[in-house]
Structure 1
Amino acid sequence: MNRKLQKLIKLVADRFVAAIMLLILSPVMLIVAIAVYFRMGSPVIFTQPRPGKDGRIFNFYKFRTMTDECDRTGNLLPDEKRLTPFGEFLRESSLDELPQLWNVLKGDMSFVGPRPLLVQYLERYSPEQARRHNVKPGITGWAQINGRRLLDGCWEEKFRLDVWYIDNWSLWLDLKILVLTVFKVLKKEDITQKGHATGEEFFGSNAEKKSNFNNLIDV
């Protein structure tokens, strides 16, 4: 099967499966939303701009897992102090990722692809690393099944895996990633980076390098 046809199949399958899953999982999402509201308040959904294919910005959705607690000066407490036990459960079970089905249905994301990171990273990538934006970001990806959050402090390796996925992509590879993701979630492997509630920030492989996305940030 040629690559162009495979891409078309992936495009159609992504949206069709996302629509079906949203219908089937809507009761679960409602229960989670109610639980988040009563345990952490509103908003229930964490929304953040993230770069997608070709660096275009979209609103990324997850169930909220941290509170908005601040110190005496009004600054947010460290992430690990704001991450609640219930929020940790949502992360371990990957239930916090369910709202991203809406991102897939809208066409912002795919089920499989490089994970969408922060907008400010666009100008920090090397040209090779920036290739991770040649495809739609995914709910899961090749880097996630080869380390998941444990790779957050190993950016070079994470981006190498993302680019490898792009160069070796096929529908069979996507299927393999999806199956392995299910096993990772069930075994609760590699959920968080040791000592961090969220991943370490990426400051760039080389402070002097700029990616070719500088002119896309304001799009």
Structure 2
Amino acid sequence: MDTTGHLDTTGHAQQQVLPHMTPVPLTVPRRALDVVVSLVLLVLLSPLLLVLTVLVRSTSGGPAIFRQRRMGEGALEFTLYKFRTMRQDAAGPGLTGMSDPRVTAAGRLLRRFGLDELPQLFNVLRGDMTLVGPRPEAAELAHRYPPQYHWVFRHRPGLTGPCQLRSRSDAALLDGRPDPERYYLEVMLPRRAAMDAELLARITPFTVLRLAARTPWYLLSAAWDRPRGSCAGAAGDVARCTEGGRS
């Protein structure tokens, strides 16, 4: 896809330069909520963060924290932090399915329960992210977005949100796809954008607290939940968003 939204001769979307975008700033109550909640959670979860750091380093032989450039508020990139879940020498598509062979055994466990996302509390505290909002897109993939979806990059990305609370099923949809990035951009992105638009049109501190409260239950439900279908599953499941990005 060129800057006018066309596919190139290979059928793949080309990277494009995102236009300057005026950010949609957070309200003072939402920013205050971000600071208080992220700081409290970082303190309370510090023993768990230490245990996970040791687990990742001892099982993968590399650094515990994975850093990746993501697209932030106003289409400005920032560095996102996650616990590393892939082999240190992993290479391949920028999207990760449920059965991706690059993911380590410990990494699969971390991904299933969302524990790899905990370092993003630092991003929330710093102001790169907010507690609830659109999922932070990998910068490389963001530059391939069709123009009609660029608006999402005016908003600060969130640690959790409607799409993030459906990530397990969406990761399963990518399994076996010959070109998972193209499938994501052409099939999954329009539905993800619709969900983000609905969220952002009515987001309030109460909405933030409600979705934040649902998040621990969603993470714990991984113990008994099994994502339905695979990449050939029901079309209704395509409305759910992908984990996105290497880690």
Measured against aligned partners, the alpha-carbon deviations of 1:151-179 in whole angstroms (never above 9, x if no partner) come to 46422111111121111212222222112
Q: CA distance change for structure 1 residues 82 and 120 in 2, over 3 Å: closer, same or farther? A: closer
Which residue is equivalent to 1:148? 167
Which residue is equivalent to 2:44? 24
RMSD across aligned positions (CA): 2.8
Which residue is equivalent to 1:186? 220
Alignment of 1:81-100 (within 5 A): 81-100=101-120
Q: CA distance change for structure 1 residues 157 and 135 in 2, over 3 Å: closer, same or farther? A: same
Q: Provide the C-alpha distance between the structure 2 equivalents of 1:178 and 1:201, rounded to a whole number of angstroms.
A: 20
**Native 8 Å contact 1:129 1:163 kept in 2:** no
Q: Provide the C-alpha distance between the structure 1 equivalents of 2:132 and 2:55, rounded to a whole number of angstroms.
A: 28
Q: Provide the C-alpha distance between the structure 2 equivalents of 1:138 and 1:62, rounded to a whole number of angstroms.
A: 14
Measured against aligned partners, the alpha-carbon deviations of 1:136-156 in whole angstroms (never above 9, x if no partner) come to 1011112223x3243464221
The structure 2 residue matched to 1:133, chosen from 144, 153, 159, is 153
C-alpha displacement at 1:69, in angstroms? 4.5
**Native 8 Å contact 1:132 1:166 kept in 2:** no
> How many residues matched?
189
C-alpha displacement at 1:117, in angstroms? 0.8
**Native 8 Å contact 2:82 2:120 kept in 1:** yes
Tell me, which stretches of 5 or more residues in structure 2 are unaligned?
1-25, 172-183, 232-241
What SS does structure 2 have at the residue aligned with 1:111?
A: strand
Identity value in percent: 32
Bigger Cα displacement from structure 2, 168-177 vs 105-114: 168-177
User: Are 2:55 and 1:35 equivalent residues in the alignment?
Assistant: yes
Normalised to the residue count of structure 2, the TM-score between the two structures is 0.68
C-alpha displacement at 1:190, in angstroms? 7.4
The structure 1 residue matched to 2:87, chosen from 63, 67, 75, is 67
Q: CA distance change for structure 1 residues 172 and 201 in 2, over 3 Å: closer, same or farther? A: closer
Task: Give the residue type in structure 1 aligned to 2:126.
Answer: K
Deviating 4+ runs (over 4 angstroms):
189-193, 199-202
Which residue is equivalent to 2:31? 11
User: Are 2:65 and 1:45 equivalent residues in the alignment?
Assistant: yes
Tell me, which stretches of 5 or more residues in structure 1 are unaligned?
1-5, 71-75, 203-219
**Native 8 Å contact 1:114 1:137 kept in 2:** yes
Task: Give the residue type in structure 1 aligned to 2:74.
Answer: D
Q: Provide the C-alpha distance between the structure 2 equivalents of 1:24 and 1:50, rounded to a whole number of angstroms.
A: 27
C-alpha displacement at 1:182, in angstroms? 2.1
What SS does structure 1 have at the residue aligned with 2:128?
A: coil
Q: Provide the C-alpha distance between the structure 2 equivalents of 1:29 and 1:8, rounded to a whole number of angstroms.
A: 29
User: Are 2:138 and 1:118 equivalent residues in the alignment?
Assistant: yes
Which residue is equivalent to 2:206? 172
What SS does structure 2 have at the residue aligned with 1:124?
A: coil
Bigger Cα displacement from structure 2, 180-189 vs 104-113: 180-189
Q: Provide the C-alpha distance between the structure 1 equivalents of 2:244 and 2:131, rounded to a whole number of angstroms.
A: 24
**Native 8 Å contact 1:149 1:192 kept in 2:** no
C-alpha displacement at 1:127, in angstroms? 4.3
